[in-house]
Structure 1
Amino acid sequence: MSQSTAAGDAVQAMMRAVVVTRPGGLGALEIKEVPVPVRERGWVRIRVKAFGVNESEVTTRKGESDPEVTYPRVPGIEGVGVVDEADEDSGLRPGQQVATMMGGMGRTYDGAYAQYVSVPAAQVIPFETGLPWDVVGALPEMFQTAYGSLTTGLDLRAGQTLLIRGGTSTVGLSAATLAKDLGATVLSTTRSPDRTGELRDAGVDHPLTDNGTVADQVRELMPDGVDAALELVGCSVLADTLRTVRRHGTVCFTGALAGQWSINDFTPFMIPVGVRLTSYAGEAADLPADVFARQLEAVAEGRLRVPVAKVHHGLEQVQDAQDDVESGTAPGKHVVVLDD
């Protein structure tokens, strides 16, 4: 995207973006004027309308993310907006509503904390909806992670029982609503007894208070164990979660809210006999456009609840949004809307 001077010299168009020049505190999130990304063939440039704010972006800002992250970097692992420019044979047209997420976005290349973002076409999901941008902006990463975990990770079926460990996280709340829509019975955990109401609001059948172990509580409700368990807390409780699952059931390791990603002195014999352990860390392609369309329709009809904690307006409020995410005082998704 460029414009020309009267003399014919090309001038790079500029945009506003949040840039992390070097890791640090909230002050490391600086609003800068930077060039609009030049789109490569096979990529799509999107005019960003809204984006979710996630724990992974907090860790990127603090320098605690994957070693592949380099600085300076525009964070943002997800975003929604409209196509600004795409290959003619991509099937995408300017002005079309799209979502994008993951795939190195905001880590190995610049992400959605900006007025424009350019991403590979393979991780662009087209959609049509009348839902406002603040609602749609909460969905891509949250729904993709929850949906991929329940399907690819757990192969969950109607009539089965599911335990969600870390249920008041945005992915946990989203997974509960998706699992209930699928027809599963859902057990879900929170460390705070006063937050069980949030779980019930998301459709959870059996809220559980997690004091570090939940296996006994689960077995009281389901003596043979649950069919499936979604692990979002991490390795610190994985052994206990494995004990909640019936023989030939499955545990899917998706997140590590407690910050522990590995187990010291791990032995395969910690996995109960006949229990399966999988993991999930998928990409946009794991959320097909028709599935996302059905989810949007379910949200519009009120069948799926979107756990939005707060809507922030403008890049100036990104610091506040990350502060809220890091403090954990407001449960649910934080969304930044870029007003025209």
Structure 2
Amino acid sequence: MSQQAAVGDAAAPATMRAVVVTRPGGLDALEVRDVPVPVREPGWVRIRVRAFGVNESEVTTRKGESDGEVTYPRVPGIEGVGVVEEADEGSGLRPGQRVATMMGGMGRSYDGSYAQYVTVPAGQVIPFETDLPWEVVGALPEMFQTAYGSLTTGLDLRAGQTLLIRGGTSTVGLSAAALAKELGATVLATTRHPGRAQDLRAVGVDHPVVDDGSIAEQIRSLVPGGVDAALELVGCSALPDTLKCVRMHGTVCFTGALGGAWSIPAFSPFMIPFGVRLTSYGGEAGDLPAPVFQQQLQAVAEGRLKAPVAKVYHGLEQVQDAQADLEDGTTPGKHVVVLDD
């Protein structure tokens, strides 16, 4: 890699505070430590982290259930927002600029955002401008990227169409509902708990559906011909039933497996109803263009788009609490950690 000139504060502190997963284990495997500030390589950007969302992926890393790319000790964190500290000259990024970053191996193959500083490849940095507080912006990157990519790349959803979200009270499900309503779609979304129907209505869902494992009859009673599109977030245990909810030439996009099932034993293509299309989505930061993220932030600022924040935590010392609350699952929405000055 050729050496490039850099812009920014090259005299970063020698050490920083970070949450380190010392070994696979329980919440006590998350330790707040003083560690060296990561060295920025050419083509990478050093970001001062101001907030980050807490995700199931990081719980998986902490438990040692990720694939072989994760080694320990590791600073977890697959997303974060903050300000540019240093970048290559000519990168288009300037010191102090607000940016978001996510995915691309963060917190898995290299240290992630549970820290005061993180370095990431420039290609997965999304610049933005907003007056929204960090705790709101910190909730958005990963869930908006996944929801946006599923609705566009996965489903090609259009205004006036009907969308079913299976797993509606998940962070991606809530985000997808809000984005779909902003687009002009009619949204049906599921929850296993009748008491959470109001959480779905709060983000604009037109028809909350209580999921007892078999919802095709309910969906067909609401949309007799079948919905135009369905976003599968529960997983392969629900997928055959979700496919039955979709009209001929409609599409199902498999994006997540909240139920834990990523495959179907003895799968047969004839399980797919005739004429129904099945695809999948699993993208990266580059799938959320900066202008689109900026539009989403503007919509949140104007109140047209709801950011589903479950709870805000202050400081790295509260990361254990955030992961515990995420695993508990009693509050739908994103758990966000803010690093105060």
TM-score range with shorter-chain normalisation? over 0.9
- Aligned residue in 2 for 1:110: 111
TM-aligned CA deviation for residue 268 of structure 1: 1.1
Q: Could you report, residue by residue, the CA deviation over 1:147-205 in whole angstroms, capped at 9, with x for unpaired residues?
A: 00000010000000000000000110010000000000000000001110111111000
State the AA in 2 paired with 1:72.
P
Matching residue's letter, 2:41: E
Q: Find runs of 4+ consecutive structure 1 residues off by over 4 angstroms.
A: none
Give the percent of matched residue pairs that are identical in Structure 1 and Structure 2.
Answer: 80
Aligned AA (1:15) = M
2:200 is matched with 199
Q: Which residue of 1 aligns with 2:100?
A: 99
Paired position in structure 2 for 1:232 = 233
Task: State the one-letter code of the partner of 1:47.
Answer: R
Separation in 1, partners of 2:32, 2:166? 36
- 1:20-43 Cα shifts (integer Å, max 9, x gaps): 111100000011111101011111
Q: Cα offset for 1:67?
A: 2.6
**Structure 2 gaps, min length 5:** 1-8
SS of residue matched to 2:237: helix
Q: How does 1:1-340 map to 2 (within 5 A)?
A: 13-340=14-341
Q: Cα offset for 1:89? A: 1.0
Structure 1 length-normalised TM = 0.96
Write the letter of the residue equivalent to 1:183: G
- Give distance in 2, aligned partners of 1:105 and 1:262: 25
Shift of 1:108: 0.7
Encode CA deviations 1:34-80: one digit per residue, 9 max, x unaligned. 11010111111100000000111111101112232221111000000
Q: Is the 8 A contact 1:2 1:12 kept in 2?
A: no
Query: Does structure 1 conserve the Cα–Cα contact (< 8 Å) formed by 2:10 and 2:86?
Result: no
1:51, 1:113 within 8 Å by CA — same for their partners in 2? yes
Question: SS at 1:40's partner residue?
Answer: coil
- Superposed displacement of residue 2, structure 1: 6.8
Q: Distance in 1 between matches of 2:205 and 2:315?
A: 34
How far apart are 1:19 and its partner, in Å?
A: 0.5
Q: Distance in 2 between matches of 1:12 and 1:141?
A: 28
Aligned Cα root-mean-square deviation (Å):
1.1
Partner residue, 1:8: none
Aligned match of 2:4 = none
Q: Which runs of 5+ in 1 are unaligned?
A: 4-10
Q: TM-score, normalised by structure 2?
A: 0.96
Distance in structure 1 (CA, Å) of the matches to 2:106 and 2:262: 21
Separation in 2, partners of 1:184, 1:301: 19
CA drift at 1:330: 1.5
Q: Matched residues in 1 for 2:141 and 2:85: separation? A: 19
What is the CA–CA distance in structure 2 between the aligned matches of 1:234 and 1:42, rounded to whole Å? 37
Q: Report the residue type matching 1:148 in the other structure.
A: G
**Aligned residue type for 1:187:** L
Q: Is the 8 A contact 1:2 1:13 kept in 2?
A: no
Inter-partner Cα distance in structure 2 for 1:283 and 1:152: 12
Cα distance change on mapping 1:338 and 1:219 into 2, 3 Å = same
Cα offset for 1:12?
Answer: 7.5
Q: Structure 1 residues 80 and 239 mapped into 2: Cα distance closer, same or farther (>3 Å)?
A: same
SS in structure 1 of the partner of residue 225 of structure 2: coil
Residue type at the aligned position of 2:112: G
Once structures 1 and 2 are overlaid, which stretch shifts more, 64-73 or 271-280? Answer: 64-73
Q: Which residue of 2 aligns with 1:6?
A: none
For residues 15 and 268 of structure 1, what CA distance do their matches in structure 2 show? 52
Find the counterpart in structure 1 of residue 5 from structure 2: none
Query: 2-side partners of 1:269 and 1:194: how far apart?
Result: 36
Per the alignment, residue 7 of structure 1 pairs with none
CA distance in 1, matches of 2:215, 2:18: 43
For 2:284 and 2:220, how far apart are their aligned partners in 1?
34
User: What is the identity, as a one-letter code, of the residue corresponding to 1:280?
Assistant: Y
CA distance in 2 between counterparts of 1:329 and 1:188 reads 18
Provide the C-alpha distance between the structure 1 equivalents of 2:96 and 2:49, rounded to a whole number of angstroms. 11
